[in-house]
């Protein structure tokens, strides 16, 4: 048994744990459904899921055109959502994470809704038009990811004009989360304005200013929360409704990535986790692998040779709205993010870019199950009995 209130999303009462979306292919049907079966929210990352489907990957190699890539990725997303829903039964929720920063985000949102996803989670930009994209699917919960109260204020004001409120809001701390981070510079990651307690207090003021203090919009804290002690503080002392956790679920037995991927993340020491500027122009956090070390050593040389040329894209893709490699933007990353994350998915330590959060993992270098992870997060017990259920 655990002592925390349930997370209420629409008519579903869930455990107050949300599994974060992790692409490319790190959180797909296998991981998300395992989390949902524990009566929590599992999340499929919508980015480039064709890599989990050999037939679709073969088709994309046979016809390497952007339109074909997009169509095949939507087919892959449809498959993963339907598989996750089937494997979860009627337990928990299956959400789909869509990055605002990718060119085909609107098509991915529509596909997720048509395929039956329970919720859309959107970050990597202000999701101002998300209510418009989902207006034909009013039963789909909408959850923006933001890092500070100013962004929350902007989204709420815009959505209220559309007669829609978020079903929950994820507040992500860029100084702890993995992957692309919600700050403009590396030096800005630890800014006090991202402090969870400050953002929660300021968000309460935003609710009062907008006349929403009586609305029950759950606030979900993300970044560095994979600890029973921190979860207790967030839920009991700070008044958060739930926490979102990524890396700790990515390395579970049910995680969709290659075992080498999990070993890289679990074996990383604190000094191995570094921040750098990615191809989208945002700070990112990853493990210092041979690839990343070599890239950073040659970064200035690569940036000096930057030029706008679509042919520089390794995959002939137009995946990001802004890409340092494709668009020739010298001050930001000069590599193909899709290829590097795909290599990580497949466990290629020599070429992969392995995103992870900066905080310690619950079980150190051990690969444990989603069940064990949930038990620890909600009870603090690291070796639970086999069939113990969480109420």
**Taking residues 67-81, what's their average pLDDT?**
93
Q: Minimum mean pLDDT among 17-21, 67-71, 248-252, 257-261: which range?
A: 67-71
Cβ neighbors of 99 (< 8 A, separation 6 or more) are: 23, 46, 47, 105, 122, 123, 124, 125, 180
Long-range contacts of 293-299 (CB under 8 A, 24+ apart): 295/335, 299/334
Nearest to 38 by CA among 17, 10, 66: 17
pLDDT band at 317 (very low <50, low <70, confident <90, very high): low
Domain ranges of the chain: 7-257+360-378, 265-345
Question: Does the pLDDT of residue 310 top 90, yes or no?
Answer: no
Residues 97-125 as b/e (b if ≥16 CB within 10 A, e otherwise) read bbbbbbbbbebbbbbbbebbbbbbbbbbb
Question: Does the pLDDT of residue 346 top 90, yes or no?
Answer: yes
Question: Does the pLDDT of residue 316 top 60, yes or no?
Answer: no
**Taking residues 167-188, what's their average pLDDT?**
92
pLDDT confidence of residue 65 = 79
pLDDT confidence of residue 385 = 76
SS3 (DSSP) at 316: coil
CA atoms of 285 and 112, how far apart (whole Å)? 27
**Taking residues 281-301, what's their average pLDDT?**
94
Q: Compute how many other C-beta atoms are within 10 angstroms of the C-beta atom of residue 346.
A: 16
Question: Does the pLDDT of residue 314 top 70, yes or no?
Answer: no
Mean pLDDT, rounded, of the chain: 92
How does pLDDT run across 26-66, given as a tens digit for each residue? 999 999 999 999 999 999 999 999 999 999 999 988 887 77
Question: Does the pLDDT of residue 241 top 70, yes or no?
Answer: yes
Strands 119-123 and 12-14: unpaired
SS3 (DSSP) at 210: coil
pLDDT band at 318 (very low <50, low <70, confident <90, very high): low
Q: What is the DSSP letter of 360?
A: P
| Fold that domain 7-257+360-378 belongs to in CATH | TIM Barrel (3.20.20)
Element spanning 99, H or E: strand 93-99
Question: Does the pLDDT of residue 227 top 80, yes or no?
Answer: yes
pLDDT confidence of residue 320 = 81
Cβ neighbors of 216 (< 8 A, separation 6 or more) are: 8
Q: What is the DSSP letter of 244?
A: E
How does pLDDT run across 76-120, given as a tens digit for each residue? 999 999 999 999 999 999 999 999 988 899 999 999 999 999 999
Strands 41-45 and 141-146: unpaired
Higher-confidence position of 142 and 279: 142
pLDDT confidence of residue 184 = 86
**Taking residues 261-265, what's their average pLDDT?**
96
How does pLDDT run across 119-150, given as a tens digit for each residue? 999 988 899 999 999 999 999 999 999 999 99
Between 66-88 and 105-114, two packed helices, what is the crossing angle to 10 degrees? 30
Cβ atoms of 289 and 352 closer than 8 Å:
yes
pLDDT confidence of residue 325 = 85
Cβ atoms of 199 and 171 closer than 8 Å:
yes
Element spanning 223, H or E: none
pLDDT confidence of residue 80 = 98
SS3 (DSSP) at 285: strand
pLDDT confidence of residue 326 = 86
**Structure tokens, 338:** 């899709």
């Amino acid at each position: 048994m655990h002592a925390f209130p349930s997370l209420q999303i629409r008519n579903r009462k869930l455990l107050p744990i949300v599994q974060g979306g992790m692409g490319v292919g790190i959180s797909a049907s296998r991981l998300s459904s395992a989390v949902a079966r524990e009566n929590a929210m599992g999340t499929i990352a919508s980015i480039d899921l064709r890599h989990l489907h050999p037939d679709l990957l073969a088709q994309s190699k046979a016809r390497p055109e952007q339109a074909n890539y997009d169509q095949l990725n939507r087919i892959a997303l449809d498959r993963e959502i339907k598989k996750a829903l089937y494997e979860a039964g009627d337990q928990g929720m299956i959400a789909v994470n869509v990055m605002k920063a990718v060119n085909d985000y609107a098509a991915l949102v529509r596909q997720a809704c048509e395929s039956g996803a329970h919720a859309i989670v959107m970050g990597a930009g202000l999701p101002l038009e998300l209510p418009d994209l989902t207006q034909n699917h009013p039963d789909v919960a909408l959850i923006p990811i933001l890092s500070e109260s100013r962004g929350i204020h902007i989204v709420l004001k815009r959505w209220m004009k559309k007669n829609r409120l978020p079903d929950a809001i994820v507040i992500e701390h860029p100084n702890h989360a993995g992957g692309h981070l919600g700050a403009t510079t590396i030096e800005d990651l630890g800014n006090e304005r991202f402090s969870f307690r400050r953002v929660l207090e300021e968000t309460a003021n935003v609710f009062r200013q907008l006349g929403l203090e009586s609305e029950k919009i759950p606030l979900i804290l993300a970044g560095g929360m994979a600890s029973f002690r921190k979860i207790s503080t967030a839920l009991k002392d700070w008044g958060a409704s739930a926490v979102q956790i990524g890396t700790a679920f990515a390395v579970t037995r049910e995680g969709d990535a290659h075992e080498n991927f999990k070993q890289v993340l679990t074996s990383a020491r604190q000094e191995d986790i570094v921040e750098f500027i990615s191809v989208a122009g945002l700070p990112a956090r990853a493990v210092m692998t041979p690839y990343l070390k070599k890239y950073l050593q040659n970064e200035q040389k690569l940036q000096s040779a930057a030029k706008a040329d679509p042919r520089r894209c390794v995959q002939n893709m137009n995946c990001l709205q802004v890409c340092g490699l494709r668009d020739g933007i010298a001050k930001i990353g000069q590599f193909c993010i899709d290829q590097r994350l795909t290599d990580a998915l497949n466990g290629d330590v020599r070429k992969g870019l392995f995103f992870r959060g900066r905080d310690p993992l619950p079980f150190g270098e051990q690969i444990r199950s989603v069940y064990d992870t949930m038990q620890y997060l909600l009870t603090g017990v690291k070796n639970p009995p086999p069939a113990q259920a969480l109420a």
